[in-house]
């Protein structure tokens, strides 16, 4: 293995301080360091904590890889004897040549590629240490991932990953809504001035545009198989596009073609049923219910809502529509008769002047409404569609333009106009707390990847910012 020396068990014992002086450990590390392309942190006797932290900072800066390595994840500690633990992890890279293991900042072992565990001995019960791991190759090292623990102390561990910006694309444009393919490799961006644009984001360090389609898109939803896009369009109302080949996007059908007249349709918002047989398109005048079971031939079924409708949610069973309305708050419509919508109930909120955004939890028990005029979010219990109840009103620091929720209903991601991406804890809807603000230079829209490891934010400068949110798991 070029440029790498793997530690023997004897050397690993020396480095953990078992039966040897620190000078012996430093000598061994010096030998290893000369054979590694990535530098190694050595905490020598007599150095202050500040100087050790300086060494760690230098190490991180110097070991920036020329080609990215996937950092290990899911680091775990298991006690296997009175003085020994097993450190295990998930291997997220195909390019590593080895993994470097550290204890309290000191290099103690290197294990070969594709290994996912190592045993660490000579530990004392009751002591807490910080164990870290990096993937390495000839070009450098991945980010370090750490965990705190020790003998019978592994339940007190803490991962040290951070929520941070890791990339961007489509700069100096006018990015609007972003949709991410289920495999996380492609981003579909609506740009009213430049059409629908498709980017390959499999390498977040270097996203590349791989396709486009000349329309006036305002909203987008992707099919489950990733082969179709349902696009709200200013002119066609609703477009269904074949996106199986992003470099050669083709029109399948449009709502304008399905109408008996040639009237202009200003599509603004689109929502699609789980089985992709129904769509609701918010046209300028009022939302339309559309049969899309045959993608090649749309059929207009009827209307739901009114001119004041600002956002729409279609229930899983396709029998109800939840709509925010600038005049009436939150309205629930019965659409079991797909051709005629009937108002079930509505909740006028004194605390929300102009409900602009609506997001519903996956189990359809809670709805979150954002006020476009005031810095507020309302949380509404919708578990009984006939009896809507306001649970809480949360004051935000800025105007909220978009909301997305985590699948476990514990976090909400807010696109705040000037502040950027704001993450809040909603595990207790009556006691919402802010977790973190990420400065994305403003925010209009936020989209969460299917694995919930990344957030894609359209900012005020027209770019899309990629944020690593995996630390929230």
Tell me the chain's radius of gyration from C-alpha atoms. Answer: 27
3-state secondary structure of 463: coil
Beta-sheet pairing, 178-180 with 237-242? unpaired
Tell whether the model's pLDDT for residue 264 goes beyond 90.
Answer: no
Tokens 């942190």 locate to 41
The predicted model gives 1-5 an average pLDDT of: 36
| Nearest CA among 377, 366, 368 for reference residue 400 | 377
Indicate the range of 3-7, 66-70, 398-402 predicted with least confidence.
3-7
- Cα distance between residue 219 and residue 282, in whole Å: 10
Buried residues in 178-206 as b, exposed as e (16+ CB within 10 A): bbbbeeeebbbbbbeebbbbbbbbeeeee
pLDDT above 90 for 156:
no
Q: How far apart are CA 326 and CA 216, in angstroms?
A: 25
Stated as kind and residue range, the H or E segment containing 404 is strand 400-405
CB 239 within 8 A of CB 227: no
Q: What is the pTM of this model?
A: 0.69
The CATH code for residues 164-472 is 2.130.10.10
Q: Is the pLDDT of residue 50 over 80?
A: no
The CA distance from 186 to 201, in Å, is 5
Distance CA 227, CA 245 (A): 8
Which of 186, 161, 174, 184 is CA-nearest to residue 218?
174
Mean pLDDT of the chain: 84
439: which 2 tokens? 């400065």
**What are the residue boundaries of the structural domains of the chain, listed by start?**
9-156, 164-472
232 neighbors 238 (Cβ within 8 angstroms): yes
Structure-model confidence comparison of residues 36 and 74, the more confident one: 74
Which CATH superfamily hosts domain 9-156? Immunoglobulins (2.60.40.10)
Question: Per-residue pLDDT tens for 68-110?
Answer: 578 888 888 888 888 999 999 989 888 899 999 999 889 999 9
Residues 6 or more apart whose CB falls under 8 angstroms from that of 451 comprise 184
**Residues shown for the chain:** 473
**Cβ neighbours of residue 49 closer than 8 Å, sequence gap 6 or more:** none
Structure confidence at residue 366 (pLDDT): 98
Asked if 300 contacts 258 with a C-beta cutoff of 8 angstroms, the reply is: yes
What is the edge-to-edge ordering of all strands in the sheet holding 178-180?
A: 178-180, 186-191, 195-200, 208-213
């Amino acid at each position: 293995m070029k440029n790498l020396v793997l530690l023997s068990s004897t050397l690993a014992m020396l480095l953990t301080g078992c039966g040897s002086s620190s000078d012996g450990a430093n000598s061994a590390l010096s030998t290893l360091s000369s054979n590694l392309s990535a530098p190694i942190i050595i905490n020598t006797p007599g150095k202050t904590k500040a100087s050790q932290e300086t060494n760690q900072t230098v190490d991180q800066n110097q070991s920036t890889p020329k080609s990215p390595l996937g950092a290990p994840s899911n680091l775990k500690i298991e006690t296997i004897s009175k003085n020994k633990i097993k450190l295990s992890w998930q291997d997220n890279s195909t390019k590593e040549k080895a993994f470097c293991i550290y204890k309290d900042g000191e290099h103690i072992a290197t294990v070969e590629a594709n290994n996912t565990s190592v045993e660490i001995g000579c530990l004392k019960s009751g002591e807490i240490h910080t164990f870290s791991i990096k993937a390495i190759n000839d070009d450098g090292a991945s980010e370090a991932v750490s965990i705190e623990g020790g003998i019978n102390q592994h339940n007190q561990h803490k991962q040290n990953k951070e929520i941070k910006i890791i990339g961007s694309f489509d700069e100096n444009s006018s990015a609007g809504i972003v949709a991410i393919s289920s495999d996380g490799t492609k981003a579909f961006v609506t740009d009213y001035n430049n059409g629908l644009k498709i980017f390959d984001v499999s390498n977040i360090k270097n996203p590349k545009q791989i396709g486009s389609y000349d329309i006036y898109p305002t909203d987008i939803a992707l099919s489950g198989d990733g082969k179709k896009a349902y696009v709200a369009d200013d002119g066609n109302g609703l477009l269904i596009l074949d996106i199986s080949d992003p470099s050669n996007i083709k029109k399948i059908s449009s709502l304008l073609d399905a109408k008996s007249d040639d009237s202009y349709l200003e599509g603004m918002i689109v929502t699609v049923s789980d089985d992709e047989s129904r769509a609701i398109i918010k046209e300028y005048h009022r939302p339309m219910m559309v049969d899309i079971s045959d993608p090649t031939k749309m059929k207009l079924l009827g209307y739901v809502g009114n001119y004041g409708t600002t956002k729409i949610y279609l229930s899983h069973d396709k029998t109800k529509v939840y709509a925010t309305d600038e005049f009436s708050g939150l309205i629930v419509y019965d659409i079991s008769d797909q051709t005629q919508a009937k108002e079930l109930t509505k909740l006028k909120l004194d605390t929300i002047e102009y409900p602009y955004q609506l997001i519903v939890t996956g189990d359809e028990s809670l709805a979150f409404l954002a006020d476009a005029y005031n810095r507020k979010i309302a949380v509404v219990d919708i578990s009984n569609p006939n009896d809507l109840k306001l649970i809480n009103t949360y004051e935000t620091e800025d105007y909220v333009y978009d909301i997305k929720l985590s699948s476990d209903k514990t976090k909400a991601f807010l696109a705040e106009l000037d502040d950027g991406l704001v993450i809040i804890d909603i595990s207790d809807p009556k006691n919402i707390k802010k977790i973190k603000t990420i400065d994305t230079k403003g925010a209009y829209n936020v989209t969460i990847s299917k694995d919930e490891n990344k957030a894609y934010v359209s900012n005020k400068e027209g770019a899309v910012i990629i944020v690593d949110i995996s630390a929230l798991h």
